[in-house]
Amino acid sequence: MLKGSIVALITPFENNALNEEVYRKLIHYHMKNGTNGIVPGGTTGESPTLSHDEHKKIIEISVKECSGKIPVIAGTGSNSTSEAVELSKFAEKAGSNALLVVTPYYNKPTQEGLFQHYKSINDSVGIPIIIYNIPSRSVIDMSVETMARLYELKNIVGVKDATGDLNRVDQQLKLMGKDFIQLTGNDDNALEFNKRGGVGAISVTANIAPKLTSSFQKACVENIEEATKLDRILQPLHLSLFIESNPSPVKYAASLLGLCNPTVRLPLVELKEENKKKVSEALKVAKLL
């Protein structure tokens, strides 16, 4: 269930407020174009600047609109364990299929602190939990050994690995086995990640290229030559979407495709003029424009 091309869904705003109508349209756009799962309230969804009510609202909308057709993996992480527990319990009650929980940022917990944080969430819910390990944003890196300890708990089922270190795929596979779900958080390394034992991506690029990214993920399983071909097409797009802090570039790309406006919330700002052309050119290379 938790594999393939899973979109880290952008959150559309209008006059700095959540645009619920456009959010619903985005979800249906993904269901029509082969996306294998939806993540509401992740980093790409600007979770740090969503109010708690907005965060809960996008989870509710996602569950309702997906209506069991594709899984909803709700982003429910926080650097406050009690807040993460509360939001995770809400997401489960709302009907989410799984949770994506980022390592606590800013606090810099020890490995034991990380274990206890996730254990508290695990003990509070009854649905699968994906660990989101992203040292570049949260400062701390969960060790493979800590991950293995967590995998012994009833609800911890896998990782969104955004370390950028492909050796981690091998290490995690060796220690946890093939049933431990490994999803990359880096679109640009998805081909090699899958070759080493990964089963998909929680993708930024999927926001604007759902057909391409889902076809790529399917080809990784069925036809590696086709996957390699699609990867070459996608690479310029992957790179352009991180030319500035995510999600400013992907929201600009989405605006060019008529999906939503490019508005982001402070402290993020819209894409610089000199970088807009680079995003536009990458869309053209992928034949999206």
| Residues tagged active-site | 132, 160
**Considering Cα of 21, then 24, then 26, then 32, what sign does the dihedral take?**
negative
**140 HSE (CA, 13 A, CB side):** 20
**CB atoms near residue 139 (< 10 Å):** 14
Strands (E), 4-119: 4-8, 13-14, 17-18, 37-39, 73-75, 98-102
Whether the upstream peptide bond of residue 247 has omega within 30° of 0, thus cis, is yes
Longest dimension (CA), the chain: 49
Strands (E), the chain: 4-8, 13-14, 17-18, 37-39, 73-75, 98-102, 129-133, 156-161, 181-184, 200-203
Determine the Cα–Cα distance for residues 154 and 127; give it in Å rounded to an integer: 9
Decide if 34 contacts 6 (C-beta within 8 A): no
* Helix (H/G/I), strand (E/B), else coil: 175: helix
| CA nearest to 106, candidates 76, 84, 83, 137 | 137
Q: Please answer whether residues 59 and 27 qualify as being in contact, where contact means their C-beta atoms are separated by less than 8 angstroms.
A: no
| Contact present, 264 and 276 (Cβ < 8 Å) | no
**Is there a contact between 244 and 269 (Cβ–Cβ < 8 Å)?**
no
